[in-house]
Amino acid sequence: MEFTAKTIAEFLQGEVIGNPDTKVNNVAKIEEATPGTLAFLANPKYNKYLYTTEASIVLINKEFEIENEVSATLIKVENAYESFAKLLELAEQARPVKQGISDLAFIEESAKIGDGVYIAPFVYVGENVVIENDVKLYPHVFVDDNVTVKKNSTLNSGVKVYHECVIGENCIIHAGAVIGSDGFGFAPDENNVYRKIPQLGNVIVEDNVEIGSNTTIDRATMGSTIIKQGAKLDNLNQIGHNVQIGENTVIAAQSGVAGSTKVGKNCQFGGQSGIAPHIQIADGVKVTPQAGIPNTIKEPGSIVMGTPAFNIREFQKSFIVYKQLPDLFKRVKQLENELAKLKGE
């Protein structure tokens, strides 16, 4: 489909600088764009590409100051990155919608299937499962007994949802994710042999949650592991049993949250961050990549760094000293040698 700069600007409530009849039929990175594509500029590191890009249309922020001649038609918007995301969402919605139930899917008779559902070949839907309207289950999805998948959610290829779990509305779960596997619960006996503790709870994924590929979320020992509405979990995350992830919290790839920890809303966790069990993270906390959090963080909005993680400003001051340790060690040794000589004299 082709769109003109005028049409795009009207949709985004932006201002056209250049030819309003310029047409595009695809999107691209600003540094790799070709004629007929639309790009965006939001990061100052890419400013130079605005003057060399071959894109036909570029979205820019309203406050951006143009320093040289630009060949592309520009559309000024409040937030170029957010506007570009809206266009991508619009393009995604324009794709053909799959519907229908394959003869190669296996659905237990007691399952309840809503309208507008897509169930691909080799999907298994267990007993007493509820699949609400407009849900999409792609090949090799496994939905165990007594699961509920609410309307307009998508489970991509290979997703496994264990018994009793609940998936909310408008959720996206990417390939290979496992929802509701047993929590890591074992108790040693008098012979130090580990006995499995039955995991009798479930996982509740609230509305508008996105879960990345190969992420695992363990079911609760009792009660529920809860991923609250709007949370976004990247690929290869591990969420332990009885954890709660707060509203609109985002966790980047290869991070782990140990059992019974409560994470507040609007938090941000960098990749490979690790969180100890049985602690609480306040609302709005930001955690840098590879940080390790051993204790409760009580201060809302704080930024922590390092392992063990503590306030980022204090960490940065400490790191300056840390880099000087080899020189400090040499100076200490020199002082020790001089002191020994003085004692000898």
Active site residues: 241
- Chain-centroid distance of CA 245 in Å reads 12
DSSP secondary structure string, 154-185?
EE-TT-EE-TT-EE-TT-EE-TT-EEEEPP--
CA dist., res. 155 & res. 140, Å (int):
10
Helices (H), the chain: 5-12, 80-93, 312-323, 325-344
CA dist., res. 247 & res. 268, Å (int):
11
CA dist., res. 83 & res. 86, Å (int):
5
Structure token digits, residue 133: 């309207």
Number of neighbours of residue 17 by Cβ within 10 angstroms: 17
Nearest to 173 by CA among 143, 130, 132: 143
Q: At what angle do helices 312-323 and 325-344 cross, to 10 degrees?
A: 50
3-class secondary structure, 138: coil
The region, left, alpha or beta by phi > 0 then psi within -120 to 50, assigned to residue 290 is: left
Q: Is the bond leading into 308 cis (omega within 30 degrees of zero)?
A: yes
